[in-house]
Chains A and B, each alone.
Chain A
Amino acid sequence: MSNATHGLELIGLTKILGGRVIIDNLNLTVEKGEMVSLLGPSGCGKTTTLRMIAGFLIPEKGTVNVAGKDVTNLGPEKRPSAMVFQNYALWPHMTVFKNVAYPLKIRKMGKAEIEKRVHEVLEVVNLMHHKDSRPGQISGGEQQRVALARALVQEPDILLLDEPLSNLDAKLRVKVREDIRDLQRRLGITTVIVTHDQDEALSISDRIAVMNEGRIEQFSTPQDLYDQPATEYVANFIGSLNRIEGGYADGQVIPGNEVVGIRPEDVSFSKSQVAGSYPATVELVVPRGHFHEVYLKRADASLRAFVSIDVPKAGDIGFAKVSKALVYKDGKLVRTA
């Protein structure tokens, strides 16, 4: 029997589709009330994993526990999960109200009760004024919120979101993701969200599972993923990285058979020499909005640095210092320095 305090437990999940192993012995534990992102490149199996949690796919091997209950062999209609699809999947022939009321009607709830609950949840997502509109008449962002309301009204044990923001424009995306996070915190609902946008994952998740080819490379907090990426793959995927083959000692890249990863944020440039800094030339400066990307040439390596104050000019000569480096051997983190 699994521990009832877990919101979700995936144990040894394996899925084969079209003769290929798509998900390979995947383990994941999500605590109650936690918001977890599945992050990874296209085709790595995020949707497949989510669909196994929801019950649209049955794993070849492994167990799915939701809120302490084994649901592996239940169809989606019997699982205590609610999913929001990427393109919202609102029923075009029903009004907003009817879309949201549908799950309640199935639960054979009384008319008055349904109306009360639907109104409540429509208030939450701020859509009362559209309750009699049809999906075709409202904007993408509003449709997204209807889909969310339809999931929330079911009071699921776990909320599943498959790239819920990818159809929204950049500005709306930031706003809606904050709304979702806010709502999730308030309701304390266990949530798994699929995304391939690292910004999105970093800003709203309690923990992130970075996926690669059907496996989880690392499952940790955003800060941890950033500071201690367990594999070279994760380090590359989260944030930017100067990747140099060799070894690392005394703030310098030395010959060796490891891989040194240096975050551009951890490279600083100054006109005067400080402890641990080495001579460097500025080759190119690219403005990137609120910071500048500075290409530096040092005797040991070429480095990119993110600089926001005292931005140098191309051709400047000075000193560059690396304050932190990640050292990988065979793709695995061996030490930080």
Chain B
Amino acid sequence: MAKRENNLNLQTGSLVTRFFIGVFVAFMAVFILGPLIWLALQAFSTTWTFPNLKPDGWTLVWWKRVFETPSMVEAIRNSFITAPIVVLVSAVICLPAAYAAARYNYLGRRVFLIGMFAANSFPKLGLFASIATLFYTLNLMGTMVGVIIIQLLGTIIYMTWIPAAAFAAVPKNLEEAARDAGASKFRVFRGITLRLAAPGILVAMVMSFISAFDEAQGTYLVGSPEIFTMPTEMYSLVLTYPVQIAAVFSILLAVPSVILIGLARKHIIGGQLAEGFQIK
């Protein structure tokens, strides 16, 4: 397919517009990256006297402090236990449903899809408070299971809608051609459908992992004071520790996201994510 090399010939190239675009790009760079870079620098600085542009000195001592503080190590461990479990559970629960939404018509199909959305429009904190009420009764407050359930909820919308769009984009005649060539139903699913939908599923898993890994509000409400993950540890961290510690912790917390995004970047920008959010 011819890509869009044919740029539109709209007259927007004047010097003034170029100047404004330049200013805008610079503004965006400072607006978006500024805070992250500023915080990251703190993780390596001894102290920082206002209004110097540079810290008073460079050090790695804060990193050592973090790895020597048991509560923080515990939080890191918890995060890396819960998030993968959540992604797996979510995939098992949601992927068949995504496939069904793309390939079958069933009773209440549209209601299901819209219901998912409606659930999303209840304020997160209100929902967590409501769930907490229920969890008291079910004895799930302060338990790992409770935390996993909470984090799972945020992943469902990604894990159903994005793969559903990906499955639907697999041309039916490709599957039929494979069936025709004598492949079994399962083989066709594994070899054709799953392979072609893989980018969508990958994006869904990445988004789910990040969603679970970053979930703070619900985990805090349900998990604390027994279970802390990295984001909820941040809540108490910022109150009781120097900014450098929080900075180190922030970098650690951002690492998985950065790695995963690197993996799935192409597909996320390629429209798999946006495609998933339109009710069909």
Contacts and interface: CB of A to CB of B under 8 A. Distances in A.
A57 interface: yes
Contacts of B10: 75
B139 interface: no
Contacts of B8: 56
Contacts of B6: 51, 56-57
B17 to A, nearest CB: 15
A17 B11 contact: no
B9 A76 contact: yes
Nearest to B5: A18
A76 B6 CA distance: 14
B9 A55 contact: yes
Contacts of A56: 6, 8-9
Contact of B11 (A18, A51, A57, A75): A75
A276 B6 CA distance: 56
Contacts of B5: 17-18
Interface residues of A, number: 9
Contacts of A75: 9-11
A90 interface: no
A130 to B, nearest CB: 28
Complex A-B, nearest 6 residue pairs according to Cβ-Cβ distance, in ascending order = A75-B11, A56-B9, A75-B9, A18-B5, A57-B9, A58-B9
The binding surface of chain A is classed by DSSP as loop
A58 B6 CA distance: 12
B149 to A, nearest CB: 44
Interface in B1-60: 5-6, 8-11
Nearest to A48: B6
Interface in B169-227: none
A58 B5 CA distance: 14
Interface in A30-55: 51, 55
Contacts of B9: 55-58, 75-76
Contacts of A76: 9
Given A55-B9, A56-B8, 10 more contacts: A17-B5, A51-B6, A56-B6, A56-B9, A57-B6, A57-B9, A58-B9, A75-B9, A75-B11, A76-B9
B3 to A, nearest CB: 11
The residue in B5, B8, B9, B10 that gathers the most chain A C-beta atoms within 10 A of its C-beta is: B9
Interface in A1-38: 17-18
14 contacts: A17-B5, A18-B5, A51-B6, A55-B9, A56-B6, A56-B8, A56-B9, A57-B6, A57-B9, A58-B9, A75-B9, A75-B10, A75-B11, A76-B9
A85 to B, nearest CB: 12
A128 to B, nearest CB: 33
A76 B11 CA distance: 10
A28 to B, nearest CB: 21
A23 to B, nearest CB: 14
B241 to A, nearest CB: 56
A184 to B, nearest CB: 27
Nearest to A51: B6
Nearest to A47: B6
A18 B4 CA distance: 12
Nearest to B10: A75
Interface in B67-81: none
B90 to A, nearest CB: 37
Interface in A67-88: 75-76
Contacts of A17: 5
Nearest to A75: B11
A38 to B, nearest CB: 18
A58 B8 CA distance: 11
A55 B10 CA distance: 10
A69 to B, nearest CB: 18
Contacts of A55: 9
Contacts of A18: 5
B1 to A, nearest CB: 14
A55 B9 CA distance: 8
A57 B8 CA distance: 8
A56 B8 CA distance: 7
A75 B13 CA distance: 12
Nearest to A74: B11
A270 B10 CA distance: 64
B94 to A, nearest CB: 33
A18 B8 CA distance: 15
A75 B8 CA distance: 10
Nearest to A58: B9
B223 to A, nearest CB: 49
Contacts of A58: 9
Nearest to A54: B9
A57 B10 CA distance: 10
Contacts of B11: 75
Nearest to B9: A56
Nearest to A78: B11
A18 B11 CA distance: 21
Nearest to A18: B5
Nearest to A76: B9
A295 B8 CA distance: 52
A285 B261 CA distance: 67
